Structure 1
């Protein structure tokens, strides 16, 4: 495998999500490189919909080239994906296709009516990532672990939706379900104006409780992972759950700016989680930077 190709995937992950990059940095090779490749392809899928003017491919082109992966050329992601599937033959291709299906939904289905609809979307765009990662993070196929991985992804996507309410409105999307707006007597027009009051806070707190429920399900099988993978999963979950605390500390004003977990807070979480693992395993993770 061309090391430069893997390095380009790693750079995409480092730029796109410092939290994920740090969480998975201590995985042994080739698990670590496989995570970089999966992230890079998912980023290309996401950018093809959210930033089409800057993306190298449309979502349709990505799906076509992925379907013809053996002959796909023109970008480092294609040989990287071929390496991924050759190195981890237990990885199925269906989650990648479902991920693209979920992102395609953003082009036509932009206003959600029920929580069930929202969680179905969260499975497509994020729960599938758990399915992609599972064969990389562990050698056996455990149905309980598959379910947990999907749940963690769903919880993370709910956090994304809460954090990005304002940005998504600018893109013409409203992920907050209409049934929750109606439950708390909060109007769609008030959402457009960015009104933050006790009704909006109550709505967001309910979504927060849903996210935490999915996180609990998502971490239920973490003890069955190899230690390096278990720690990576815990770190990723902790970094994302901490976004909810930042949102709460800001009074649930998700219109004024993006909730960001600071480096010091991440370092504290790292030290706390690393302390539960053997020093020989925890020492693989970079503590600073």
Structure 2
């Protein structure tokens, strides 16, 4: 495939998620390019709902074109996806379609009532990404390994939800389930006012515990991955878990402060993860985490 197309996919992941980019850029080809293509398409799906003014397609148009992928034209993502499915024949269209279903939920369900609803959403928008990546990263995905990939995706989505409480409130979306808010005596008015109190902190810590539990489940199968893939997944997970530490350092003020992981922290985590993968040898290219 045209290298310029891969470069455009790479640019999307570099601009959209430095954590993902720096975690996966050390993969061997064609796994690396496949991750870039998957990220680019997921980004376009997300933008079609969250930022339609910058999206080349509506989500209905994306679904229609994706279901007729061989004929789809007009954007670099279509030849990129055709390459992806040609090179990874075990990849299934199902997770991509379920990802679109999850993003569509943002148009109809804006205030969550139950943890069950939230978990379903986390699966649809992020667990599905685990399902997309596994045929690319792993050579023999069993049901147990697929379940671990889904768990990692759900854990990462909970991190996103914690980090973006304020941003989502600005979009009139409340992913904090009402049943959780009631359990911790945190009211709808408190959420609207952006109140950070002991109840709010306890509620976020409950969600944090759920995220960390899913991370633990997701990392249980790392020894079955090819080393470069396992390293990339572990590094991405470390970067995401560190966002929770940043939230804590910010005093849990996710309404007015953006939690992020510093380049120095990323380098420290890289060294810790790399220590568990000595078989990878020289990974000096990763030292430019910025």
TM-score interval, normalised by the smaller of the two chains: over 0.9
Q: Distance in 2 between matches of 1:124 and 1:228?
A: 27
CA distance in 2, matches of 1:205, 1:280: 36
Unaligned runs of 5+ in 2: none
CA–CA separation in structure 1 for the residues paired with 2:211 and 2:102: 19
Shift of 1:251: 1.2
What is the CA–CA distance in structure 1 between the aligned matches of 2:16 and 2:119, rounded to whole Å?
24
Matches within 5 A, 1:93-172: 93-172=93-172
| Mapped pair 1:200 → 2:200 | yes
Secondary structure in structure 1 of the residue aligned to 2:287: coil
- Aligned residue for 1:257, secondary structure, equals coil
2:266 is aligned to 266
Offset, 1:189: 1.0
Q: Secondary structure at the residue paired with 1:139? A: coil
Q: In the alignment, what sits opposite 1:10?
A: 10
For residues 249 and 10 of structure 2, what CA distance do their matches in structure 1 show? 32
Counterpart CA distance in 1 for 2:235 and 2:115 is 27
Mark the CA change 1:20 to 1:282 in structure 2 (over 3 Å): closer, same or farther: farther
What's the CA shift for 1:285? Answer: 4.7
CA RMSD between the two structures: 1.0
1:75 is matched with 75
Q: Give 1:138 shift.
A: 1.2
How do 1:178-217 residues align onto structure 2 when only pairs under 5 Å count? 178-217=178-217
Partner residue of 1:52? 52
The separation in 2 between residues aligned to 1:250 and 1:189, in whole angstroms, is: 22
Count of matched residue pairs: 289
Residue by residue, what CA displacement relative to the aligned partner does 1:46-81 show, whole Å, maximum 9, x if unpaired? 111110111111111111110110000000000000
Give distance in 1, aligned partners of 2:280 and 2:186. 52
TM-superposition CA deviations, 1:23-44 (whole Å, max 9, x none): 0011000000000000000000
Q: CA deviation at 1:227?
A: 0.3
Q: Give the 4+ runs in structure 1 shifted more than 3 A.
A: 279-282
Aligned-partner SS, 2:207: helix
Distance in 2 separating the partners of 1:107 and 1:174: 12
Aligned counterparts of 2:281 and 2:68: Cα–Cα separation in 1: 39
SS in structure 2 of the partner of residue 53 of structure 1: helix
Give the Å deviation of 1:280. Answer: 3.7
Partner of 1:248: 248
Contact 2:159–2:243 at 8 Å: present in 1 too?
A: yes
TM-score, normalisation: structure 1: 0.98
Residue of structure 2 equivalent to 1:22: 22
Unaligned residue ranges in structure 1 (runs of 5+) = none
CA distance in structure 1 between the aligned counterparts of 2:210 and 2:197, rounded to whole angstroms: 20
Specify whether residues 233 and 67 from structure 1 end up closer, same or farther in structure 2 by C-alpha distance, changes over 3 A only.
same
| 2:250–2:257 contact (8 Å) kept in structure 1 | no
Residue 228 of structure 1 contacts residue 281 of structure 1 at CA under 8 Å; is this kept in 2?
no
Q: What SS is found at the alignment partner of 1:286?
A: helix
Give, in whole Å, the separation in 1 of the partners of 2:52 and 2:82: 25
What are the Cα deviations for residues 3-38 of structure 1, in whole angstroms up to 9, with x where unaligned?
111111011000000100000011000000000000
- Partner-residue secondary structure (3-state), 1:210: helix
Q: Distance in 2 between matches of 1:30 and 1:228?
A: 12
Q: Distance in 2 between matches of 1:141 and 1:242?
A: 27
